[in-house]
């Protein structure tokens, strides 16, 4: 279960960022921001390879003592960043991948809405509810 989920546009500004509300959210925003560098680094590591050869799922971007940050990039350079709690050891790579896949499919659903202009903040309720289902339920 994620602690923070963020969708970053191609130009590296956030389209959607949401954290578990109890913590210091600014800290999560900062982590997401710094993780963008790592994402860019991983993307560029592919060089001139065709996009198809590049994995969409980037894996663990960097671990901190409390949290781990995972990344995922789409073909249109939209990045999904997810911060999970390190203490949550039950979370396996496959689960993270599936969460990213869900994110991606919800994101494409949002894109399919003709009233959504790419580059706007994501305000879709369906997307919200999907992200909520992925986040830790902290009361």
Partner 1 sequence: MEAAAGGGCGSGPPLLLSEGEQQCYSELFARCAGAAAGGPGSGPPEAARAAPGAATAAAGPVADLFRASQLPAETLHQITELCGAKRVGYFGPTQFYVALKLIAAAQSGLPVRIESIQCELPLPRFMMSKTDGEIRFGNPAELHGTKMQIPYLITEKNTFKRMDDEDKQETQSPTMSPLASPPSSPPHYQRVPLSHGYSKLRSSTEQMHPAPYDARQPLVQPEGASTGGPGAKPPRHQTSLIRSFSVEREPQDNNSNYPDEPWRITEEQREYYVNQFRSLQPDPSSFISGSVAKNFFTKSKLSIPELSYIWELSDADCDGALTLPEFCAAFHLIVARKNGYPLPEGLPPTLQPEYLQAAFPKPKWECALFDSYSESMPANQQPRDLNRMEKLSIKDMADFPVPIQDVTGDDKQALKNTVDEVLPKDMSEDPATKSGLLPPPPALPPRPCPSQPEQASEAELHPQLNRAPSQAAESSPTKKDLPYSQPPSKPIRRKFRPENQATENQEPSTTVGGPASVAAAKPHPTVQKQSSKQKKAIQTAIRKNKEANAVLARLNSELQQQLKEVHQERIALENQLEQLRPVTVL
124-139: b or e for each residue (b if 16 or more CB lie within 10 Å)? beebeebbeebbeeee
Q: Is 105 left (phi over 0), alpha (psi -120 to 50) or beta?
A: alpha
Query: With binding defined as CB under 8 A, does residue 45 bind partner 1?
Result: no
Query: With binding defined as CB under 8 A, does residue 126 bind partner 1?
Result: yes
Query: With binding defined as CB under 8 A, does residue 108 bind partner 1?
Result: yes
Query: With binding defined as CB under 8 A, does residue 125 bind partner 1?
Result: yes
Nearest to 99 by CA among 81, 87, 112: 81
Query: With binding defined as CB under 8 A, does residue 124 bind partner 1?
Result: yes
The Cα-based distances of 120 to 90, 93, 129 in angstroms read 35, 30, 18
Per CB under 8 A, the list member of 24, 87, 94, 115 interacting with partner 1 is: 115
Q: Is 119 left (phi over 0), alpha (psi -120 to 50) or beta?
A: left
CB of 50 to partner 1, least distance (A): 7
Which CB sits closer to partner 1, 126 or 136?
Answer: 126
Which CB sits closer to partner 1, 21 or 114?
Answer: 114
Interface ranges with partner 1 (CB under 8 A) = 40, 43-44, 46, 48-51, 77, 108-109, 111-116, 123-126
């Amino acid at each position: 279960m994620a602690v923070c989920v963020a969708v970053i546009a191609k130009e590296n500004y956030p389209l959607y960022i949401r954290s578990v509300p109890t913590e210091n959210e600014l800290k999560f925003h900062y982590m997401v921001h710094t993780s963008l560098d790592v994402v860019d680094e991983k993307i560029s590591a592919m060089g001139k390879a065709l996009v198809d050869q590049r994995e969409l799922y980037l894996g663990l971007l960097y671990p901190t003592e409390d949290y781990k940050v995972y990344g995922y990039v789409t073909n249109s350079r939209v990045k999904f960043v997810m911060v999970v709690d390190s203490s949550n050891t039950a979370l396996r790579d496959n689960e993270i991948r599936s969460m990213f896949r869900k994110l991606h499919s919800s994101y494409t659903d949002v894109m399919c809405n003709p009233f959504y202009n790419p580059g706007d903040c994501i305000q879709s309720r369906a997307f919200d509810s999907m992200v909520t289902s992925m986040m830790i339920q902290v009361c």
